[in-house]
Amino acid sequence: MRFLLLLLLLPGLAWAAPDGADPDGRDIVLHGNSNGALPCAACHGANGAGNPATGAPALAGLPAGVITADLANMAKGQGGTPLMQSIAQALSPAEAQAVAAYLSGLPKP
Ligand code: HEC
């Protein structure tokens, strides 16, 4: 099952991780990563629909390039809350792209 999922995601990930270690965007969204990135779903919702209670905007269905650009800016300390900046910093570029590819594939809320 996991293998099938990877196959589905592969076209989007192949260019994202030239080193061959494809990060699992869905896994990072739901569980965070081992580098201290908190699960995006905790604030942005499991389906990426956003959550007024946490102030986290919807990410589902946004173009992947918009999400990666936002994350890259926040990782540089430009825009976002300090917490969101530290989460962006905890993602490798390949992980940020995998997360963006997964979120952009979710239906818009
Ligand atoms: C602790 C809660 C929390 C977690 C966990 C979290 N976010 Fe956020 N995020 C927010 C909040 C609140 C905002 C809106 C304020 C801001 O821009 O910082 C935000 C904003 C963003 C934005 C910018 C949206 C825009 O309109 O510019 C992106 C992209 C984003 N988050 C992606 C992620 C990703 C990807 C993850 C998981 C790796 C994640 N977030 C985890 C709370 C969170």
User: Given ligand 1 and candidates 24, 38, 44, which is best to mutate, with the most ligand atoms within 8 Å of its CB?
Assistant: 44
Other Cβ atoms closer than 10 A to 18: 8
pLDDT tens digits for range 38-95: 999 999 998 999 999 999 999 999 999 999 999 999 999 999 999 999 999 999 999 9
Q: Cβ distance 25 to 100 under 8 Å?
A: yes
Domains, the chain: 2-16+23-104 (1.10.760.10)
* Structure confidence at residue 5 (pLDDT): 52
* CA proximity to 16, closest of 8, 25, 4: 25
Other Cβ atoms closer than 10 A to 64: 20
The residue whose C-alpha atom lies closest to atom 15 belonging to ligand 1 is: 80
